[in-house]
Chain A
Amino acid sequence: MMTEGIPLEYFLIVSTLMFFIGIFGFLTRKNLITMLMSIELILNSVNINFVAFNSYLYPHQMQGQFYSLIIIAVAAAEAAVAIAIIINIYRNFRSIETDKVDEMKY
């Protein structure tokens, strides 16, 4: 076994830290693309969680793995659409800074 000596909790700690780093990035970065990258970090950390649970707790089926696969697919779709939107915003505002894109206010 390649995971011998590594308890489940280690994976969970890594994924939790990664998740909150992603959230921190989402809250502080102004560039829409870097915010998108933060979201990718968040999704990735969740993937690690699923896979680790699958491997450690429910090895008799492959649910966690398929969840991860589907999340990767969703992430790809989301990235494509998000980037299309970002490019459109860039065309209209000449900027992708979130504090400059604030039309949706009172």
Chain B
Amino acid sequence: MTNYSYTLFIPLIPLAMFLLIGLTGHKFKPIVSGYAGTLGLTVAAFLSYITAIRYFFIEGAVDGTYPMIKAVSTVWLRFTDTLHIDLGVLIDPISVMMLVVITTVSLMVHLYSLGYMKGERGFARFYAFLSLFSFSMLGLVLATNIFQMYIFWELVGVSSFLLIGFYYEKPSAVAASKKAFIVTRFADLGFLIGILMLSFTTDTFDFKTLTSLDGPIITSTAGASFMGLSVITWSLIFIFIGGAGKSAMFPLHIWLPDAMEGPTPVSALIHAATMVVAGVYLVARLFPAYAIAAPDALHVVGYVGGFTSLFAAVIAITQIDIKRVLAFSTMSQIGYMMMSLGVSGYGDHEGLGYMASMFHLFTHAMFKALLFLGAGAIIHAVHSNNMTDMGGLRKYMPITHITFLIACLTIAGIPPLSGFWSKDEILAAALHHNPILFGIGFGVAGLTAFYMFRLYYNIFWGTDRHYHHTPHEAPAIMTFPLLFLAVASVFSGFLPFSHMVTSDGKPFEAHTDMLVAIPSVVIALIGITFATIMYKKPSTIPDRLAGSIKGLYKASLNKFWFDEIYLFVTKRVIFAYISRPIAWFDRHVVDATMNLVGWTVTTASNKIKGLQSGQLQQYAMVFVSSVVILVLLFVYLISK
């Protein structure tokens, strides 16, 4: 077996860069920090590529199965002989795939930010946080056990919080970062409960044990049950709540659109390509447990994913802020991945959904990062986030235009671009297992094509607006990542994913199902056509259409009032009827008790402090009379 222990350095190098930049960054020119962070990430990316090549192509499958290897492992906290928290590095198909995704996108974002963030205050801080994020995310995917994953899960949340609130002088950014942190933290509570329940039942944290077919989780399905579901099922549902929070699944999605307050490269890295798919990765990581021990939990995953993808796609149609369109699109696509996992079975061709989900995760990371970075370039040029301030940009920004178009075609699922292949697999898997989810997915495919091209036409076609200065193409340091990701978006679909990443580690042959492929392409084309008619040239159709379905339009524009509902629930219900009584209790009972103790002590001290008068003779008096009394007591009264 090959030695993979060097993979430990993949997360450690960004950590070192974080410490280096964070501690010494202010001593150098800001750009030095940028180069340092980029250099560190380059090394990490290089190591990841080597690992991927060795794992998939040089070593290959052993006995027809890709092994799960613990490259590094040390016991950190030992509770019992079987239950201990380790820290280590786990190498298996999905973690290697995630290594490639994270380091690639992160490297592109590092490069891109050299141009995008140029001259910003806190440039070094930005790179420090980016390195911290890269470290946390890499640690998350390489975790050998669920508790280690939880630790990095929280670290990822912290770095996300820090980066969303990067412009901490802007109140909206501060509010958004708080919102993201609180919502995901709330979901993480579910994750923690799930971990505790799971480890209590199975007596292990270790992924390898948890997912092995003869491990405790799969053999001990018969256990205590609650409301008709076994403990394992409940714990997996709780774990999924954690994943749903990070991946912005309905109804914990409200933080993601606001998270767009962060710098655009951050949105591309964290809120499109890597962190938000952590939930998908989590479910995939525990997939055998879901698929075999708790199919009910897997159904929950599937339906939540499917609903979210539809819900987010509907909202994305009406949004004006281009980053928010992309945010809702991200939600929709992650919903797709979740849905795909939900319709998957275990093993061989049954595991098509699993493979498709991972495949889509991979391709989505590329094209969504591309879209965000493109949007960043546009915002950089126009100084606005709103598509109403844009139009006719194709003349000014040719490279951005071409790459953005490629990305739009990819996400719409036009062959032979990568999005087509992965989406096709998802739909094929859904068709085999769950026609309802297939219907949703099919509809979402059309909607996706429509809103992406609405975005595209509004930005690059239509009429010129009054710009502060003529928009110009971004510098080469920013266009290079665009081109690179565009190439990746085009060609990553040809990777033989079904030979590499499968539910049980055994390669299988996936076929393109014409029955699915043709209709999905057709509906994508229909969506594009509609968008072309409505938005390519200025027309009144959109307004009239909005007028005819006014209710739905308004609901979509206001994101179905979910923020308002949450605010109502928290402010009017929780704050008023739960928090306020608790606060009252805290102030008038808990604090009062403490105050009483304090008051008693001070009062008593004030009363008796007169004894400490500073009058020497008083002390002497007390001393002499005490001695007399003691002598009297001990010599005459007690001894006789």
Judged by CB atoms under 8 Å, the answer to whether A and B touch is yes
When A98-B616, A99-B615 are in contact, do A106 and B609 touch as well, CB less than 8 Å? yes
CA–CA, A99 and B617, complex, Å = 8
- Closest approach, in angstroms, between the C-beta of A95 and any C-beta of chain B? 14
CA distance A24 to B89 in the complex (A): 84
* B interface residue count range (under 10 / 10 to 19 / 20 to 34 / 35 or more): 10 to 19
Digit string of A81-106 for contact with B (CB within 8 Å is 1, else 0)? 00000000000000000110111111
Whole-angstrom CA separation of A3 from B540 in the bound complex: 137
B residues in contact with A30, CB < 8 Å: 617
B602 to A: closest C-beta gap in Å: 12
A47 to B610, CA, bound (A): 37
B223 at the interface (CB under 8 A from A): no
Cβ-based interface call for B551 (8 A):
no
B613 touches A102 (CB 8 A): yes
Within 8 Å CB of B621, what residues of A? 27
B620: chain A residues within 8 A (beta carbon)? 26-27
A105 CB contacts on chain B under 8 angstroms: 612-615
Q: How far is the CA of A77 from the CA of B282 in the complex (A)?
A: 83
Is A75 an interface position by the 8 A CB rule?
A: no
Find chain B residues with CB under 8 A from A106 CB: 609-610, 612
Q: List residues 585-640 of chain B with CB under 8 A from any CB of chain A.
A: 609-610, 612-617, 620-621, 624
A106 to B615, CA, bound (A): 11
Instruction: Give Cα distance in the complex from A104 to B612, angstroms.
Output: 8
Residues of B within 8 A of A37 (CB): none
Chain A residue contacts of B609, Cβ below 8 A: 106
Best-surrounded residue of B610, B616, B620 (most CB of chain A within 10 A): B616
**With A and B bound together, what is the CA distance between A105 and B617 in angstroms?**
13
A85 nearest CB across to chain B (Å)? 12
B contact residues around A104 at 8 Å (CB): 614
Task: Decide if the interface of chain A is mainly helix, strand, loop or mixed.
Answer: loop
A-chain residues with CB within 8 Å of residue B612 when the two chains form the complex: 105-106
Q: Is the CB of A27 within 8 A of B613?
A: no
Is A23 part of the binding interface, using a Cβ–Cβ cutoff of 8 Å? yes
A27 close to B614 (CB less than 8 A): no
Q: How far is the CA of A25 from the CA of B612 in the complex (A)?
A: 22
Is the Cβ of B624 less than 8 Å from the Cβ of A102? no
B624 A98 Cβ-Cβ under 8 A: no
Residues of B within 8 Å of A102, CB to CB, are 613-615
In the assembled complex, the Cα of A99 lies from the Cα of B613 at a distance in Å of 10
Closest to A32 in B: B616
Q: How far is the CA of A99 from the CA of B619 in the complex (A)?
A: 12
Question: Could you say which residues of chain A place their CB within 8 Å of the CB of B616?
Answer: 98, 101
Residue of A nearest to B621 (CB): A27
Which chain B residue lies CB-closest to A98?
B616
> What residues of B have a CB within 8 angstroms of the CB of A28 in the complex?
617
Give complex CA distance A104, B615 in Å.
8
Q: Which residues of A contact B614 (CB under 8 A)?
A: 101-105
Residue of A whose beta carbon sits closest to that of B613: A105
Point out the residues of chain A lying under 8 angstroms from B613, CB to CB. 102, 105
Q: How far is the CA of A81 from the CA of B142 in the complex (A)?
A: 75
Q: Is the CB of B615 within 8 A of A27?
A: no
How far apart sit A66 and B461, CA to CA, in the bound complex (Å)?
116
In angstroms, Cα B618 to Cα A104, docked, is 13
| Bound CA–CA A30/B620 (angstroms) | 12
Give the CA-CA distance A103 to B613 in the complex, in Å.
9
User: Can you name the residue of chain A whose Cβ is closest to the Cβ of B610?
Assistant: A106
Interface pair B624/A23, CB less than 8 Å apart: yes
Q: How far is the CB of A17 from chain B (nearest CB, A)?
A: 16
Within 8 A of A (CB), among B377-393: none
Task: Give the complex CA separation of A26 and B617 in angstroms.
Answer: 8
- Complex Cα spacing A102 to B616, Å: 8
Q: Which residue of B lies closest to A29 (CB)?
A: B617
Residues in chain A near residue B610, CB distance under 8 A? 106
Q: What separation, in Å, do the CA atoms of A98 and B621 have in the docked complex?
A: 13
Nearest chain B residue, comparing its CB with the CB of A99: B615
A residues 21-74 in Cβ contact with B at 8 Å: 23, 26-28, 30
Q: Give Cα A27 to B609, complex, Å.
A: 22
In the complex, what's the smallest C-beta–C-beta distance from A82 to chain B, in angstroms?
A: 13
On chain B, the residues within 8 Å of A98 by CB distance are 615-617
| Smallest beta-carbon distance B632→chain A, Å | 15
Cα distance, A23 to B616, chains bound together (Å): 13
- Write the chain A residue with the least CB distance to B611: A106
Best-buried of A30, A103, A104 by chain B (most CB within 10 Å):
A104
Q: Which residues of A contact B617 (CB under 8 A)?
A: 26-28, 30, 98-99
Distance in angstroms between the alpha carbons of A106 and B605 in the assembled complex: 10
Looking at A98, A101, A106, which has the most chain B CB atoms within 10 Å of its CB?
A: A106
Instruction: Tell me, in angstroms, the Cα distance from A98 to B618 when the chains sit together.
Output: 10
Which chain B positions have C-beta within 8 A of A103? 614
Once the chains are docked, how many angstroms separate the CA of A101 from the CA of B615? Answer: 8
CA distance A101 to B609 in the complex (A): 18
- CA of A41 to CA of B548 in the docked complex: distance in angstroms? 115
CA distance A102 to B617 in the complex (A): 11
Complex Cα distance A103/B610, Å?
13
Bound Cα distance A103, B621 (Å): 19
Query: What separation, in Å, do the CA atoms of A26 and B615 have in the docked complex?
Result: 13
Top 5 nearest A-B pairs (CB, nearest first) are A102-B614, A105-B614, A106-B609, A98-B616, A106-B612
Q: A27-B620, A99-B617, A102-B614 are in contact. List 15 more A-B contacts (CB 8 A).
A: A23-B624, A26-B620, A27-B624, A98-B615, A98-B616, A98-B617, A99-B615, A101-B614, A102-B615, A104-B614, A105-B614, A105-B615, A106-B609, A106-B610, A106-B612
Would you list 6 pairs from A and B whose C-beta atoms are within 8 A, ordered by A residue?
A26-B620, A27-B617, A98-B616, A101-B614, A106-B609, A106-B612
Residues of B within 8 A of A (CB): 609-610, 612-617, 620-621, 624
